[in-house]
């Protein structure tokens, strides 16, 4: 089995999280209108870290926070050989008129974000939706989706040398 490549050492990862948190605060002077929603599963871990930093940096605690499972909003959930295991959704607020920041670890094809935007609509109509991802694999997009907050961009193309 191939071993993954470390693209962001721990100290650089922390610095990147801090940068992303400051960008959010720069772009949202009124955190009362903000909802941060982590996409299950790994986006939730990232969203939790961002949440902690926002509180530490600014004392901002008035924004809403949630966890979103998109399993049954995926366009491929019925096409799998094995059933998908759903996680929990924990959103106890409406997003109506709010600025939603969706958080995920990797932006790859865009399918997960597309499903998340569909799922968010069950909780109201947000004023806007922004996307924060730690890794943007920009050459693999299948949907026209672009992140607003990016930790690192990785130029890796699957099947680049298929002959």
So where are the chain's domains? 21-153
pLDDT of 79: 55
Arithmetic mean of pLDDT, 89-99: 94
The model's pLDDT over 24-83, given as tens digits with 9 standing for 90+, comes to: 999 998 899 999 999 998 999 999 999 999 999 988 777 899 999 998 887 665 555 666
| Residues paired with residue 149 on neighbouring β-strands, in sequence order | 132
pLDDT of 160: 46
Arithmetic mean of pLDDT, 84-100: 89
Buried b (16+ CB within 10 A) or exposed e, 47-73: bebbbebbeeeeebeebbbbbbbbeeb
Is 2 a residue whose pLDDT tops 60? no
Architecture category of domain 21-153 in CATH: 3-Layer(aba) Sandwich (3.40)
Is pLDDT larger for residue 30 or for residue 4? 30
User: How sure is the predictor about 1, in pLDDT bands with cuts at 50, 70 and 90?
Assistant: very low
Q: What pTM did the predictor assign?
A: 0.88
């Amino acid at each position: 089995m191939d071993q993954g490549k470390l693209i962001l050492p721990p100290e650089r990862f922390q610095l990147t999280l801090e940068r992303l948190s400051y960008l959010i605060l720069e772009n949202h002077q009124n955190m009362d209108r903000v909802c941060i929603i982590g996409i299950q599963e790994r986006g939730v871990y990232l969203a939790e870290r961002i949440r902690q930093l926002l509180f530490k940096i600014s004392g901002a605690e008035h924004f809403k926070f949630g966890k979103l499972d998109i399993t049954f909003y995926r366009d491929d959930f019925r096409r799998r050989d094995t059933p998908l295991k759903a996680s929990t959704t924990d959103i106890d607020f409406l997003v109506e008129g709010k600025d939603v920041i969706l958080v995920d670890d990797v932006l790859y094809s865009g399918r997960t974000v597309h499903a998340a935007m569909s799922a968010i609509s069950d909780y109201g109509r947000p004023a806007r939706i922004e996307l924060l991802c730690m890794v943007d694999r920009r050459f693999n997009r299948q949907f026209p989706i672009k992140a607003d907050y990016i930790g690192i961009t990785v130029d890796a193309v699957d099947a680049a040398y298929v002959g």
